[in-house]
Amino acid sequence: MTIDVARARAETPGTESVLHFNNAGAALMPQPVISAIKGHIDLEASIGGYEAAAKTIEAQERTYAAAAELINAKPHEIAVVENATVAWCMAFYGFLQTMQPGDRILTAEAEYASNYIAYLQAAKTRGIEIVMVPSDETGTLSVDALENLIDDRVKLISITHVPTNGGLVNPAAAIGRVAKAAGIPYLLDACQSVGQIPVDVEAIGCDMLSVTGRKYLRGPRGTGFLYMREAMLDRFEPPMLDLHSAQWTAAGEYELREDARRFENWEDYIAGKIGLGVAIDYALSWSMEAIHDRVTHIAEMLRDRLAATPGVTVRDLGREKCGIVTFTVDGITPDQVRAGLAEEAINVTHSTINSTRLDMESRGLDAVVRASVHYYNSESEIDRFMEVLAALRP
């Protein structure tokens, strides 16, 4: 199956007003997602929020089943939460309760700032050791180095699949094989990969995985989900509980929910939850393989054009690359490039050292322009992007 780009664009109202290369920030939502969210808000306005929730249980349940289908998990292994950070933190801070001073977390150079700040807090308050797995000459996490670092002190492998600041794809499945062989739990930040790359938790072998709705999945802002492998549920409790994640069964007792929804809390953005399910079904209707092929093709095209432009340096690392394209331009800062493009209704972001400090420091970079493409972006948008960029160069 290939992507019908004309149909994808016709179903994406935003393509009429902007050239959107900010899909790693928040992708343009397709019409079915927009309609689902608006429809639920209208229902809440006309009959009441609780009443609207009661009438849409099927659509809400579909979100769990759709998320499970997308990543080859079971619906009861999914918790739908506010964003990827909450998903990741529920897993990380929950698991942290099982760790002792001197225990080690193995992580990678491309790690996302929010995750790394959590490791630093674990180091400060709990005496946990953070160990960096070196990258190979392509900037990819070295699986050999990872294997060499495995010992009794290592209690968690926690890796970012695709970093926020570039096209790198870390070898999630090879890491999973090492984790499995060593019997070490594996937490994968799949925030930038799910929605652009087929992600299968069985093939990868991760035990916990965090996803956001608004990026490559094209869902609403303020949504995300956590995958928690069934076998992990008995190993630790969520770091916070409420009357949805647990039941107050006697004056001095509580009981946890049986399923992964113990990582949720009661109040919910129902319109967003339904919209997220519709976004996942929309992605599945194209097929993740077709999406991946198209995203990789468009990104490669953009990278080639940028690399052939004097004064422009492509900054993406990795053997395998994805839809995130990063670059710098001589004589003009990434933020100036972003602002110049924005004047022509072209959306990119600039990714700074604050999001991925270890990687950026090791490469002597302070910021890069991030142009993140999706399957609905067209070849002619690349032409226009290159024209406007050429005019910006000093």
Ligand X SMILES: *Cc1c(COP(=O)(O)O)cnc(C)c1O
Q: Which residues contact ligand X by CB under 6 A?
A: 83-85, 112, 114, 160, 163-164, 189, 191-192, 212, 224
Closest distance between ligand X and the C-beta of residue 318, in Å?
14
What is the phi/psi pair of residue 176, to 5°? -60, -35
Q: 81-101: string of b/e by CB count within 10 Å (b at 16+)? A: bbbbbbbbbbbbbbbbeebee
Q: Tokens 């929309």, residue?
A: 282
Closest distance between ligand X and the C-beta of residue 9, in Å?
25
Closest distance between ligand X and the C-beta of residue 340, in Å?
24
d(CA 74, CA 259): 10
d(CA 361, CA 364): 5
Beta-sheet strand order (sheet of 224-228): 78-81, 224-228, 208-212, 186-189, 154-160, 104-108, 129-133
* Full DSSP string of 323-337: SEEEEEETTB-HHHH
Q: Which is nearer to ligand X, 26 or 329 (CB)?
A: 26
Closest distance between ligand X and the C-beta of residue 161, in Å?
8
d(CA 296, CA 167): 10
d(CA 91, CA 307): 40
Give yes or no for a contact between 335 and 325, defined as CB atoms under 8 angstroms apart.
no
Query: What is the gyration radius of the CA atoms in the chain, in angstroms?
Result: 21
Closest distance between ligand X and the C-beta of residue 213, in Å?
8
Tokens of 107: 């992580």
What is the phi/psi pair of residue 117, to 5°? -60, -40
Q: Tokens 């609780």, residue?
A: 50
Closest distance between ligand X and the C-beta of residue 77, in Å?
19
Residue whose C-alpha is closest to residue 64's, from 206, 178, 175, 228 = 228
Give yes or no for a contact between 184 and 206, defined as CB atoms under 8 angstroms apart.
no
Question: HEC string of 307-318?
Answer: HCCCCEEECCCC
Closest distance between ligand X and the C-beta of residue 112, in Å?
4
